[in-house]
């Protein structure tokens, strides 16, 4: 079974030997400790979710931009949709098994492929993360519609921030909006960098709340102007086909 390297993993080295008990070939960044925390996480995830299609390790722990208490972000692709409902329990089990702050997400191959057309963050994860195991999905370009919808969501979050009280809630909403904008800035260019993402998020959150909101509002306006020059692409065409198939499927079920 051949491991798949995406553009973000060029030049990375394969660790010495496969993980015990794991029938996959693993590709890790050469500068991550080996053996180390990722070794334990992948092994435990294999035990908790046997027969998975593969995993994507991503986020600050992979890019080298993590704080001391940063999470280990893992996306496991599973065939059984019923497993999606067990994410919280599986995440708790994985954290317990490793003793590490693991943020576990689950997706089916079909769900991941569909979300990649609409969700800029999924495209970012696929571009900057490290895939473990077989090729998980054939991912096309992010649709222009997906970028536009995500930008609207950020605008709504920024509107909500004007009326929110409470430091904890405000920090959470600010961080979410900052992460979305950092990804959107790269999605418009079709070029993803984990380091640039971390710098943009840190720059936004370093400001006082009002200044952060004002800064992000200006970023939204700039992105709107840039998006005007972005044409519809193959991702939009695939999205149209997907909607047509879903409508046909629902029609067949109704009759």
CATH of residue 48: 3.30.460.10
| pLDDT classification of 167: cutoffs 50, 70, 90 | low
| pLDDT classification of 217: cutoffs 50, 70, 90 | very high
| pLDDT classification of 246: cutoffs 50, 70, 90 | confident
- 201 versus 136: the higher-pLDDT residue is 201
Instruction: Tell whether 111 and 50 lie within a shared domain.
Output: yes
- pLDDT for res 13: 38
- pLDDT for res 145: 94
Position 139 in a domain: no
Instruction: Tell whether 198 and 148 lie within a shared domain.
Output: yes
Position 192 in a domain: yes
- pLDDT for res 23: 34
Exposure class string for 56-73: b at 16+ Cβ within 10 A, else e: bbbbbbbbebeeeeebbb
Q: For residue 141, count other CB atoms closer than 10 A to its CB.
A: 17
Instruction: Tell whether 151 and 76 lie within a shared domain.
Output: no
Position 115 in a domain: yes
Confidence check: pLDDT of 48 > 80: yes
Domain that holds residue 68: 7-132
Q: 71, 101, 132 — which closes off a domain? A: 132
Position 184 in a domain: yes
The radius of gyration computed from the CA coordinates of the chain, to the nearest angstrom, equals 19
Number of domains in the chain: 2
- pLDDT for res 34: 44
- pLDDT for res 100: 93
| pLDDT classification of 126: cutoffs 50, 70, 90 | confident
Q: What is the mean pLDDT of residues 92-119?
A: 92
Instruction: Tell whether 152 and 118 lie within a shared domain.
Output: no
| Max Cα–Cα distance, the chain, nearest Å | 57
Lowest-pLDDT range, 78-82, 136-140, 178-182, 214-218? 136-140
Position 235 in a domain: no
Q: What is the mean pLDDT of residues 176-188?
A: 94
| pLDDT classification of 187: cutoffs 50, 70, 90 | very high
The continuous run of DSSP H or E covering 74 comes out as: strand 72-77
Position 238 in a domain: no
Lowest-pLDDT range, 28-42, 50-64, 96-110? 28-42
């Amino acid at each position: 079974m051949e491991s798949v390297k995406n553009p973000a993993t060029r030049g990375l080295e394969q660790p010495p030997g496969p993980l015990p008990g794991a029938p996959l070939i693993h590709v890790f960044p050469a500068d991550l400790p080996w053996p180390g925390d990722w070794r334990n996480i992948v092994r435990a995830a294999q035990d908790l979710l046997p027969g998975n299609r593969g995993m994507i390790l991503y986020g600050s722990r992979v890019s080298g931009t993590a704080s001391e208490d940063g999470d280990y972000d893992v996306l496991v692709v599973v065939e059984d949709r019923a497993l999606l409902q067990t994410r919280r329990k599986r995440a708790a089990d994985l954290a317990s098994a490793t003793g590490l702050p693991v943020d576990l997400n689950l997706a089916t191959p079909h769900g991941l492929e569909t979300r990649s057309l609409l969700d800029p963050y999924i495209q970012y994860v696929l571009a900057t993360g490290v895939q473990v195991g077989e090729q998980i999905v054939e991912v096309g370009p992010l649709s222009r519609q997906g970028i536009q919808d995500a930008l609207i969501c950020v605008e709504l979050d920024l509107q909500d921030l004007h009326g929110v009280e409470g430091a904890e809630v405000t920090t959470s909403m600010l961080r979410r909006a900052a992460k979305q904008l950092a990804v959107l800035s790269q999605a418009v260019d079709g070029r993803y960098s984990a380091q640039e993402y971390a710098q943009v998020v840190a720059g936004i959150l370093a400001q006082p709340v009002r200044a952060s909101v004002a800064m992000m509002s200006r970023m939204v306006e700039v992105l709107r102007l840039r998006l005007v020059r972005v044409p519809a692409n193959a991702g939009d065409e695939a999205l149209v086909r997907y909607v047509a198939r879903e409508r046909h499927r629902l029609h067949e079920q109704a009759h």
